[in-house]
Structure 1
Amino acid sequence: MNHRPHTPYTVRPAGRADVDGARRVMLDTFYRDFGYGYVPAWHRDVVEIETTYLDDPRHLLLVAVHGGEVVATTGVRSAGPAHPPHPRRLAERYPSGTTAQLVRVYVRPEHRRHGLARTLVDHACAFVARTPGYDSIYLHTNVDIEGAEAFWRSMAKEIFDARTTGEHGPGVGTVHFEIPLPGSDVA
């Protein structure tokens, strides 16, 4: 894959100096794009960025920086779809510990269409491939957000369309996906 964003963006692992900027991107996305704001049961990692992403060697937070400002994020956590109300069969198929979950793939609106999300996801998948113990890459997304469904279908395989179950409530069209591990024979 190896997509690269147009300059003048820098894509790199987040450091402690990036935490506040990354948190702003995430919270702005919850309120502006998702329309439901911060939900503690779903978004604890956003408050605990350091312990979730920076202090665990099997986790990663990537940022895209433009003009000294964090404008995009992508996270990797060792966690599958275990938190309710996801279906039990998904939690069993993607257990925590051996499943790398992609999260917080967010780009500020004025920086979209520059290849940032794809580049961040490529870097995240490369991290997963070189980190011992991961067997799969899982994610879920709200396909009601403009562009989300087409983006994920271009690089991932749908494993469950939860729009009919309403697992996250009205206005949240959740679809679950898997991305093949880089270097695997699975297509």
Structure 2
Amino acid sequence: MNTVPFKSTQKIHKQEFISVIRSDPYPPYSQSSDRRDQPSRMKVTMMMVMMVLAISVYLDSASAASSVGEFVDKTINNNKIAIFSKTYCPYCRRAKAVFKELNQVPYVVELDERDDGSKIQDVLVNIVGKRTVPQVFINGKHLGGSDETVEAYESGLLAKLLGIETVDHDDL
């Protein structure tokens, strides 16, 4: 505090007295020619606002990250077939075509059409260890990308995982 307690025998200015009583950290303007020596309420206020904004941004980003993670988890676990894809990717089109051939309708998340697509891919990296698309999940379990999906289709494993019967065209 910039003010010094006074003795009752000292004469003080009324403003200084009020400042001491209120414990005001910013005493009245002194006659000093250099105002830079005095703390600025505006600077302190601006610093506080900046700190609040920084904390708010941090909390929002943490919340967004957890909500993206929750979205990915719910998508994987609440859908029989979930595909994380990009509309322009030929490998993604190939994986989706396999399910069309089986008359199955997957839940498809087109990452390039979402504002949080990159964040979803970040979450998928933690789950599957790859940033590539497509990433296919069957009944909550990771099947793989395009090659693994086609291999599972050709071997009959995909139909088995989906619990569907397929007609072997060689038997006809």
Where is the strand percentage greater, Structure 1 or Structure 2?
1
Quickly name the TM-score band, shorter chain normalised. under 0.3
**TM-score for the superposition, normalised by structure 1:** 0.25
TM-score, normalising length: structure 2: 0.27
Q: Which has the larger radius of gyration?
A: 2
More helix by share: 2
